[in-house]
């Protein structure tokens, strides 16, 4: 553990084409117009939280830093752009030496956010910043949605263990990112070995129904698993008859049986029956893990059940009904001229239909009440009020093109636990509601 985001144990390909074509055509036109090198400030924010959610969770920051570091145009990528006539030769020459040389600040990974929060700020020339728009949004929108769902599930679990097991329910690469985001949001382990290899997340897994069906009897299957994996293994007990399977499992493994897994039926009722049966058989320390299309509401409904761990798949990796956070990446300030000292001026989109933006390079702070509980998200463009100086949220991530904020994955995980704990208690309610903190602009 504690190796995540300190340098991946795998080669990461160029991220330069994880983007939309219009990023390149804008750069070409700006280079021709002489405006490409104007100092610019872009910000990532969302205008609203997904319906019913009380807070958002920042996740994917470490992956964003990887993407920025690997945003390079190698010969094959340049050849593709040339062959497809995406950009002209002058733009290709500029792209060949592309390296992001600007600054990035943002909410640290694991922090919570609200509508209007300046989650990420990217500063540099227009050309170098605009190219990063799509890949940054792709990562933050996906990972933050998964982390928010994971956070709600962790709250519902009330300290019981959570296993991420959704790899078979999403794209194979998205599954790895989802495991990472789920860990930040409060999950304890994953079934996905690629996530364990790449990010150091603890991995778990024993057997599926196919293993039981392979053998001539359930007893033969259990004996084979225990002989291979030891008495501390987890036996799947709902292939045929649960009560008979539990009896057989304890006969074979003894009271040292690690756990049983239930994957179907009325989980509340079955869990109570299995717990009683295990206790009567002397397996009082054998744990119960439940799976089967769980979400935060199903987990909450099992709060009174004698369950020790939950395995969650589909609902987690799809954001439990909200697979994106609708974050946007907008130009909020740009220099009046080409020089490095040209003053910045705010710019903003004026639009009807709720798509207007607020111009200006912003700071953000979370104001606590007298008891230390957060009471408002304060966002401004002028001087930071003295009483908020020590409550500012953004941190430095990239300085002059160099990444300065690598951290082990356990750090954002613990940060999220603390950030969620500093919110009003109503933040943990699963019922639909408005954001738990208002956003104040000053």
User: What DSSP assignment string belongs to 69-116?
Assistant: HT----HHHHHHHHHTT-S-HHHHHHHHT----SEEEEPPTT-EE-TT
139/78 same-domain check? yes
Query: Is residue 175, in this structure, part of any structural domain at all?
Result: no
Question: What confidence score (pLDDT) does residue 339 get?
Answer: 77
Query: Is residue 331, in this structure, part of any structural domain at all?
Result: yes
37/68 same-domain check? yes
294/355 same-domain check? no
Lookup result for tokens 């990112």 = 177
303/326 same-domain check? no
274/347 same-domain check? no
Query: Is residue 282, in this structure, part of any structural domain at all?
Result: yes
The residue among 251, 276, 307 that closes a domain is: 307
**pLDDT tens for the chain, residues 1 to 442:** 444 455 555 566 789 999 999 999 999 999 999 999 999 999 999 999 999 899 999 999 999 999 999 999 999 999 999 999 999 999 999 999 999 999 999 999 999 999 999 999 999 999 999 999 999 999 999 999 999 999 999 999 999 999 999 999 999 999 999 999 999 999 999 999 999 999 999 999 999 999 999 999 999 999 999 999 999 999 999 999 999 999 999 999 999 999 999 999 999 999 999 999 999 999 999 999 999 999 999 999 999 999 999 999 999 999 999 999 999 999 999 998 887 788 999 999 887 667 778 899 999 999 999 999 999 999 999 999 999 999 999 999 999 999 999 999 999 999 999 999 999 999 999 988 899 999 999 9
Count the domains in the chain. 2
**Beta strands, E only, 222-286:** 234-236, 259-262
Query: Is residue 168, in this structure, part of any structural domain at all?
Result: no
326/302 same-domain check? no
Question: What confidence score (pLDDT) does residue 337 get?
Answer: 81
140/39 same-domain check? yes
Q: How far is CA 205 from CA 83, 163, 267, in A?
A: 47, 10, 20
- Single out the residue of 232, 202, 180 nearest to residue 409, CA to CA: 180
Beta strand 259-262 with 287-290 is parallel
Q: Is 339 exposed, middle or buried (0-12, 13-18, 19+ CB in 10 A)?
A: exposed
Query: Is residue 16, in this structure, part of any structural domain at all?
Result: no
The residue among 261, 283, 307 that closes a domain is: 307
Query: Is residue 158, in this structure, part of any structural domain at all?
Result: no
327/437 same-domain check? yes
Q: Which residues pair with 259 in a beta bridge?
A: 234, 287
Tokens of 270: 């079955």
User: For residue 230, what are the domain limits?
Assistant: 206-307
Measure the CA–CA gap between 78 and 96, rounded to whole angstroms: 7
Q: What CATH number does residue 53 fall under?
A: 3.20.140.10
129/224 same-domain check? no
Measure the CA–CA gap between 94 and 37, rounded to whole angstroms: 12
Measure the CA–CA gap between 239 and 219, rounded to whole angstroms: 12
Lookup result for tokens 């640290």 = 108
**312 and 163 in contact (C-beta within 8 Å)?**
yes
Query: Is residue 177, in this structure, part of any structural domain at all?
Result: no
288/392 same-domain check? no
The residue among 278, 307, 336 that closes a domain is: 307
Question: What confidence score (pLDDT) does residue 22 get?
Answer: 97
Measure the CA–CA gap between 31 and 28, rounded to whole angstroms: 5
331/411 same-domain check? yes
- 224: which DSSP letter? H
Contacts of 390 by beta carbon, 8 Å cutoff, 6+ apart = none
Q: What CATH number does residue 294 fall under?
A: 3.20.20.70
Query: Is residue 370, in this structure, part of any structural domain at all?
Result: yes
Measure the CA–CA gap between 429 and 407, rounded to whole angstroms: 30
């Amino acid at each position: 553990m504690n190796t995540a985001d300190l340098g991946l144990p795998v080669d990461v390909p160029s991220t330069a084409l994880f983007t939309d074509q219009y990023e390149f055509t804008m750069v070409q036109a700006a280079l021709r117009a002489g405006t490409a090198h104007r100092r610019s400030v872009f910000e990532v924010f969302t205008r609203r939280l997904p319906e019913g959610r009380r807070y958002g969770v920042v996740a994917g920051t470490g992956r964003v830093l990887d993407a920025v570091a690997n945003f390079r145009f190698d010969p094959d990528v340049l050849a593709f752009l040339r062959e497809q006539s995406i950009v002209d030769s002058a733009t290709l020459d500029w792209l060949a030496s592309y390296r992001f040389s600007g600054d990035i600040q943002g909410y640290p990974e694991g922090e919570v956010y609200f509508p209007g929060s300046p989650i990420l700020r990217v500063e540099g020339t227009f050309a170098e910043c605009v190219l990063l728009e799509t890949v940054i949004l792709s990562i933050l929108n996906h990972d933050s949605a998964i982390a928010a769902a994971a956070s709600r599930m962790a709250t519902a679990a009330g300290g019981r263990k959570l296993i991420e097991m959704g790899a078979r329910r999403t794209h194979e690469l998205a599954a790895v990112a989802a495991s990472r985001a789920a860990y930040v949001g409060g999950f304890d382990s994953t079934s996905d070995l690629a996530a364990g290899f790449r990010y150091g997340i603890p991995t778990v897994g024993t057997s599926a129904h196919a293993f039981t069906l392979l053998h001539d009897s359930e007893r033969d299957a259990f004996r084979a698993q225990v002989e291979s994996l030891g008495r501390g293994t987890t036996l799947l007990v709902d292939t045929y008859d649960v009560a008979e399977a539990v009896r057989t499992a304890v006969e074979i493994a003894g009271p040292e049986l690690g756990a049983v897994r239930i994957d179907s039926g009325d989980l509340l009722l079955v869990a109570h029956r299995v717990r009683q049966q295990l206790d009567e058989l002397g397996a009082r320390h054998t744990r119960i893990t439940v799976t089967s299309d769980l979400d935060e509401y199903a987990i909450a409904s099992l709060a009174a059940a004698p369950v020790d761990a939950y395995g969650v798949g589909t609902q987690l990796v799809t954001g439990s009904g909200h697979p994106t956070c609708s974050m946007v990446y907008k130009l909020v300030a740009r220099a009046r001229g080409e020089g490095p000292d040209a003053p910045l001026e705010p710019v903003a989109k004026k639009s009807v239909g709720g798509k207007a933006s607020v111009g200006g390079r912003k700071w953000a702070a979370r104001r606590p009440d007298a008891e230390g509980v957060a009471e408002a998200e304060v966002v401004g463009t002028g001087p930071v009020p003295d009483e908020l100086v020590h409550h500012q949220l953004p941190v430095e991530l990239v300085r002059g093109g160099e990444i300065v904020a690598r951290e082990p994955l356990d750090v954002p995980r613990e940060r999220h636990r603390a950030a969620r704990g500093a919110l009003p208690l109503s933040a943990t309610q699963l019922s639909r509601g408005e954001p738990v903190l208002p956003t104040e602009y000053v």
